[in-house]
Structure 1
Amino acid sequence: MLTPEQLREAMIASAGEDESITLDGDFTSKDFAELGFDSLALMETCAQLKRDHGIVVPDETLWDLTTPEQLIQWVNGARA
């Protein structure tokens, strides 16, 4: 099961040195683009999830997900 906090940690680790990325409060319902995450940052986030939690999100699935909430729901449904 993937929690919002685990995803937050992976996203922050994937943001690198971009200090404009903040994931305070309820970030899960905002679009990835609104949060400052482009396709490269999303791919790195998924790589981080794989390293830390063994979660594999196929690229073709990732492109259909527009918010962290959708990603969490997909992961938790796929892993159930």
Structure 2
Amino acid sequence: MTPELYEQCKLAMHVVMPDGRVLRGGRASLYILHTLGYRSIATVLGLWPLWCVDLGYDLVARNRYVFARWFAKCAKS
């Protein structure tokens, strides 16, 4: 891992593709959802403009602790 990539990984999730391409943030999330079998969610989100997907990723990433508490409360119900 290069020092530049190390610093960028502090800001957003990254996926290194088999062909060497690097996906970041929202694009990486779509790839992971698709790979894990959540293809319908990835497909629907993939229909949105990529700037919207990246904006949604940034919103969730900045507030991940709030979302984690909310999901934990929903799981208990």
TM over 0.5: no
| More strand as a share of residues | 2
Compute the TM-score of the two structures, normalised by the length of structure 2: 0.33
| More helix as a share of residues | 2
Structure exhibiting the larger radius of gyration computed from Cα positions: 2
Give the structure, 1 or 2, with the largest relative contact order (CA under 8 Å, sep 6 or more): 1
